[in-house]
Amino acid sequence: MKSIDAQKLVEWRRTFHQFPEPGWEEFVTTGTLIPLLREMGLEVKAGPAIICRESILGRNVKQVEAAIATARQHGISQDLLDEMDGLTGCMAILDSGRPGPTFGFRFDIDCVYVQESCEASHLPHQQGFQSRRSGLMHACGHDGHTAIGLGVAAWLIANRDALRGKFKLIFQPAEEGVRGARPICDSGVLDDVDYFMALHLGCNLKKGQVLLDPQDFLCTTKLDIHFQGEPAHAGSDPEKGHNALAGACLAASQILAAPRHSAGMSRVNIGVLRAGEGRNVIPASAEMQIEVRGQSAAIAEYLVDYVDRCVQGAALIHQLSASTVKTGEAVDFRNDRQMIDVLQQVIDRHPELSSVSASTAGSEDASLMVRRVQEHGGKAIYFIVGADQPAGHHKAKFDIAEEALSIGLTLFSEGLQTILAAPDQH
């Protein structure tokens, strides 16, 4: 089998690192990926062909329009933007032309709202490939995931004559806030997948360590809550106002007092609370961004119900109207034993790799894809590849050891070869 130059993966990662884009706004990233993948010789689908519009969560139309304008300035062609039709992400397909299973691989492409460190010790800054965008950074390693995806594409093309079956490479938008996976699942593109693999870099593991069966991935629901009241003069007639700030504060104090659940881990957080216009006005509107997490779907639902009662109760007391919008969701999942064994065989062939076990307590919407594939009779795995990161995820000094990129590629390419070589696969 022909291998891919590790330096190429590093170059791709550094290119994407310089232009981070948040979820549903990845028009430059997608507009860079599509021509690259086509030049390699893969078929590429984008926009409504892979994303079910009705299932989209947490997409801000104004921000999307601004991102399209930015992409135009950045030289992304109108033809590509038309093809995306306002939707980011793409799927590259390679059909070997020989009978065999269908593989699905997921690579997420979005960034987070973090200002990247400009300290001399921070390697992206030192080497001149730091984020060019203020307040935005690939601080979760998705630039690396995107590069690994391109590496897998290049590897498949280089070795196409030795392969069987069909390969679908999904470059997923909007993983942050767990928003992008549901509409891809609902488009049906995963429903013929026999073997599904997705990875994450980092998660505080050392380079060379691989976590094949992450435990305790939590179900999560993200909620945006809006309270609407009535403004009034704070001096002359405060009793005529309906105070949305007071309602939001009451709801907040009760939400944070949620009784925890005896059946497993539970989390609740109010990350944002904004209210009011001016010092002498009874605040007429307030908004909160909330997330709950639970070890099982039942625990997460218990917390969503509890939040809902706090919101309704606070609204009643302060005579407000309240609305709740779900902006993201992920579920718990179990990797298939067969897939764990396949990747363990790959690790066993490489003395520099070792498999570890650890608890993660994170959330990830690849979980929806894992479940979807399993529901349709396929096998799936989500695994973690250590990257010696100098700082935690979503922090200004986050970085990855770039050798982890070729480790990721090895796990995908040798994993699929192991599956193709097994006697029991169809």
Task: Return d(Cα 315, Cα 233) in angstroms, integer.
Answer: 20
In the complex with Zn ion, which residue's Cβ is closer, 53 or 133? Answer: 133
Contacts with Zn ion in 139-158 (CB under 5 A)? Answer: 140
In the complex with Zn ion, which residue's Cβ is closer, 194 or 399? Answer: 399
**In the bound complex, what is the minimum distance in angstroms from residue 142's beta carbon to Zn ion?**
6
In the complex with Zn ion, which residue's Cβ is closer, 345 or 360? Answer: 360
Q: Which residues pair with 246 in a beta bridge?
A: none
**In the bound complex, what is the minimum distance in angstroms from residue 360's beta carbon to Zn ion?**
11
In the complex with Zn ion, which residue's Cβ is closer, 135 or 377? Answer: 135
In the complex with Zn ion, which residue's Cβ is closer, 22 or 165? Answer: 22
198 interacts with Zn ion by CB under 5 A: no
**In the bound complex, what is the minimum distance in angstroms from residue 108's beta carbon to Zn ion?**
7
- Given a contact cutoff of 8 angstroms between Cβ atoms, the answer to whether 45 and 79 are in contact is no
Task: Return d(Cα 334, Cα 375) in angstroms, integer.
Answer: 12
**In the bound complex, what is the minimum distance in angstroms from residue 183's beta carbon to Zn ion?**
18
Residue linked to tokens 């990257």:
387
- Given a contact cutoff of 8 angstroms between Cβ atoms, the answer to whether 332 and 218 are in contact is yes
In the complex with Zn ion, which residue's Cβ is closer, 140 or 407? Answer: 140
The per-residue b/e assignment along 82-112, b for 16 or more CB within 10 angstroms, e otherwise, is: ebbebbbbbbbbbebeeebbbbbbbbbbbbb
Contacts with Zn ion in 206-265 (CB under 5 A)? Answer: none
DSSP character for 205? P
Residue nearest to Zn ion (CB): 140
In the complex with Zn ion, which residue's Cβ is closer, 180 or 208? Answer: 180
Three-state secondary structure call for residue 405: helix
Residue linked to tokens 């590093």:
10
Query: Token pair for residue 414?
Result: 């040798």
**In the bound complex, what is the minimum distance in angstroms from residue 111's beta carbon to Zn ion?**
10
Contacts with Zn ion in 307-346 (CB under 5 A)? Answer: none
Element (H, E) at 307: helix 297-318
**In the bound complex, what is the minimum distance in angstroms from residue 154's beta carbon to Zn ion?**
23
Task: Return d(Cα 402, Cα 143) in angstroms, integer.
Answer: 11
- Residues 121-140, mask of contacts with Zn ion (x by CB under 5 A): -------------------x
Where does residue 259 rank: exposed (0-12), middle (13-18), buried (19+ CB within 10 A)? exposed
**In the bound complex, what is the minimum distance in angstroms from residue 345's beta carbon to Zn ion?**
27
344's CB contacts (< 8 A; 6+ apart) are 212, 355
In the complex with Zn ion, which residue's Cβ is closer, 33 or 140? Answer: 140
**In the bound complex, what is the minimum distance in angstroms from residue 175's beta carbon to Zn ion?**
6
125's CB contacts (< 8 A; 6+ apart) are 116, 117, 118, 119
Q: How many chain residues touch Zn ion (CB under 5 A)?
A: 1
Binding site for Zn ion (CB under 5 A): 140
